[in-house]
Chain A
C-alpha cells in the first residue's frame, strides 16, 4: 500500500480508537479537576461496561434491540459502580494527603480487575465475541474503511459534544466547574459538594461505560485486565492535553489514537506502547501543565 493510502487508513483507525480514548480521558480529567485525584480505577470501568454489553449480546445476539439494551445496561452499571466507588472509597480520602488517595485508587483498581476473576460466571479466561459484520466495508482506492470505526468515531464525538453542553450550560455543569475551582467556596455558596462530585463521577463513568461497549465491538477480546492499557493511554492523553481541561482531554485522546495508529502502521506495533509512554514523559518533563492545562502555584 502506498504511503498516502496507509496514512489515511491509519488516520481513520487512529481517529476511531482516539475517540474512545477521548471518552475515557474525559472521565480522568473531570475527576482530577474536581477532587484532584488520578482515578486509577477509571480504566476498569471500561472493562465493566464491556462485560455487561458482552453478556447482553451473548444472551440475545445482535439486534437493534439488544444493542440498545446493552448500551443502557452498560451505562447504568458503570454509573452505579462509579458512584459507589466514589462514595465508599474516595470520599473518606478527601481531606487526606494526596498520596493516600492515590494509593486507595490503586487498591480499587486492583480489586476491580481481580474480583470478577473469582466469580465462576466471569472467570479468568478470555472471552471473545463474534461481532457480525454489520456493515459493508467501504473502499476508497486502496483504503478500506470499516463503517464500524466511523460509527464509533461519530458516537464518541456526539457524546463529547453532549458533555460539553452539559458542563458549559447546565446548572449541574456550573456546579462542577465551581467545585473544581474552589471546593470550599462552592460549599459556602450552597452547592452540595458531595452531590456534585457524585454527578461528575456519574458522567465520567457513563462515558467510560459506553467507551467500553465501543471498544468491545471494535476489539472483541474480553478479559478483566482489558481496561488497563486503554485506561493508562487515556490518562496519558488527558495529561498531554492538560489534566483538568475538557477540550484538552478530547484533543489529547484523538491525538494519541492517531499517533498510536500511525506508529503501528509506519514503524511497528510493538513500539506503540513505547512511543506512548515516551511521549508522556517527554511532555511532563518539558511542560508539566500539559499542552492546555492550568498550573497553579502553592501559596506560601
Chain B
C-alpha cells in the first residue's frame, strides 16, 4: 500500500499559543486511522490545516496525486484541497440549512459539473443533460444511505441523526480519496453509534476511501480504527494499535489525570 498523505513536523501557532506542534503522520491508502485526545488537544486544528482552513505556520503536508506524484498542499485554499480529493465533515454540522437534501449534496458536485455558467444561464444542451445526470446520480447516492425519499426535504428539518448522515453523504459526493470525519458520533446514543461504525466500514469499502477520524467515543474508536494517534496540548503523545494505546499510561494520564494511571 502506498502513502496517500504525509505530514512532517506540522505546526500551528496562533500568536503566542501553540495549538499544534511537530505533528507527523503517514497515512497509507485504505487505512482507517483515528486521531484522539482530550478536548482542546488540537485535533480539529490538524483537520483545519489538512483542509486548508488554516495555513500551517510550520511543517509540510504532502499528498499523493492520482498520477503518483507527491504534492505540497500546505497553505492551499480549502476549495483547492477539496478538488484534490480530500473531503471533510464538521464537528458542528454545517449543512446549508435553507437548501434541500438534494441541493446540499449537489454543492459537492459543483466543481465537477460539466457546464459553464453561461451555458446554465441560457439553458443550452450541456446544461440540460448535466442536470439530468446529476439528478439521478445524487438520488442514487442518497438511496444507498436510505434518505432518497427525503431528497426534497429542507435539510434543517431532518432529525439529528440523519443530518449527521447527510454531512457524510455530502462529503462523499465530491468523490474524495481521503475522508476526514470530525467527531461523527457526537450526540449519538450507543445504538446509533453502532450503526455509524457499520456505515463507516461500509463507505470505506464501497467508495475505496482512506479515512482519518477524530472521535471521543472510545467504543467507536476501538471498534473500527486500525491505528491511533493521540494528541495532548498540541503534541503527539502516543501512536500505535488500539490495544496498545488503551493501556498506555501516558494516554491514560492525559485523559484522566495522574491518579488514574495507578488505579
Direct contact of A and B (CB under 8 A): yes
Contact with B along A270-300 (1 / 0, CB 8 A): 0000000000000000000000000000001
B53 part of interface (Cβ distance < 8 Å): yes
Contact with A along B49-61 (1 / 0, CB 8 A): 0000100000000
B220 to chain A, nearest CB (A): 22
B90 part of interface (Cβ distance < 8 Å): yes
B54 to chain A, nearest CB (A): 8
B48 part of interface (Cβ distance < 8 Å): yes
Chain B, interface size category, equals under 10
B167 to chain A, nearest CB (A): 14
Bound-complex Cα distance A215 to B137 (A): 66
Bound-complex Cα distance A300 to B12 (A): 15
B261 to chain A, nearest CB (A): 32
A296 to chain B, nearest CB (A): 11
Chain A, interface size category, equals under 10
**Minimal Cβ-Cβ distance residue in A for B90:** A300
Contacts of B48 in A (CB 8 A): 300
A100 to chain B, nearest CB (A): 15
B77 to chain A, nearest CB (A): 14
B236 to chain A, nearest CB (A): 21
B38-83 contacts to A (CB < 8 Å)? 44, 48, 53
Contacts of A300 in B (CB 8 A): 44, 48, 53, 90
**Minimal Cβ-Cβ distance residue in B for A299:** B44
**Minimal Cβ-Cβ distance residue in A for B53:** A300
Bound-complex Cα distance A285 to B53 (A): 21
**Minimal Cβ-Cβ distance residue in A for B92:** A300
B86 to chain A, nearest CB (A): 15
Bound-complex Cα distance A276 to B90 (A): 43
A167-204 contacts to B (CB < 8 Å)? none
A91 to chain B, nearest CB (A): 25
Bound-complex Cα distance A168 to B44 (A): 37
Bound-complex Cα distance A300 to B44 (A): 8
Contacts of B44 in A (CB 8 A): 300
Contacts of B90 in A (CB 8 A): 300
Bound-complex Cα distance A300 to B90 (A): 8
Bound-complex Cα distance A300 to B93 (A): 11
**Minimal Cβ-Cβ distance residue in B for A298:** B53
A289 to chain B, nearest CB (A): 14
Bound-complex Cα distance A300 to B52 (A): 12
Bound-complex Cα distance A300 to B48 (A): 8
A297 to chain B, nearest CB (A): 8
B88-111 contacts to A (CB < 8 Å)? 90
**Minimal Cβ-Cβ distance residue in A for B47:** A300
Contact with B along A25-47 (1 / 0, CB 8 A): 00000000000000000000000
Contacts of B53 in A (CB 8 A): 300
**Minimal Cβ-Cβ distance residue in A for B182:** A300
Bound-complex Cα distance A226 to B18 (A): 51
B1-56 contacts to A (CB < 8 Å)? 44, 48, 53
Bound-complex Cα distance A191 to B53 (A): 35
A299 to chain B, nearest CB (A): 9
Bound-complex Cα distance A300 to B88 (A): 12
**Minimal Cβ-Cβ distance residue in A for B94:** A300
B132 to chain A, nearest CB (A): 35
A24 to chain B, nearest CB (A): 32
B216 to chain A, nearest CB (A): 18
A269 to chain B, nearest CB (A): 44
A184 to chain B, nearest CB (A): 16
B78 to chain A, nearest CB (A): 10
Bound-complex Cα distance A300 to B54 (A): 10
B12 to chain A, nearest CB (A): 12
A245 to chain B, nearest CB (A): 17
**Minimal Cβ-Cβ distance residue in A for B88:** A300
A26 to chain B, nearest CB (A): 27
Bound-complex Cα distance A300 to B183 (A): 13
Bound-complex Cα distance A300 to B89 (A): 11
Bound-complex Cα distance A300 to B53 (A): 8
A49 to chain B, nearest CB (A): 41
Bound-complex Cα distance A300 to B46 (A): 12
B206 to chain A, nearest CB (A): 28
Bound-complex Cα distance A95 to B48 (A): 27
A8 to chain B, nearest CB (A): 42
B185 to chain A, nearest CB (A): 19
Contact with B along A196-223 (1 / 0, CB 8 A): 0000000000000000000000000000
- A-B pairs, top 3 by smallest CB distance, nearest first, are A300-B53, A300-B48, A300-B44
4 A-B pairs with CB atoms under 8 Å apart are: A300-B44, A300-B48, A300-B53, A300-B90
Contact surface of A with B, Cβ cutoff 8 Å:
300
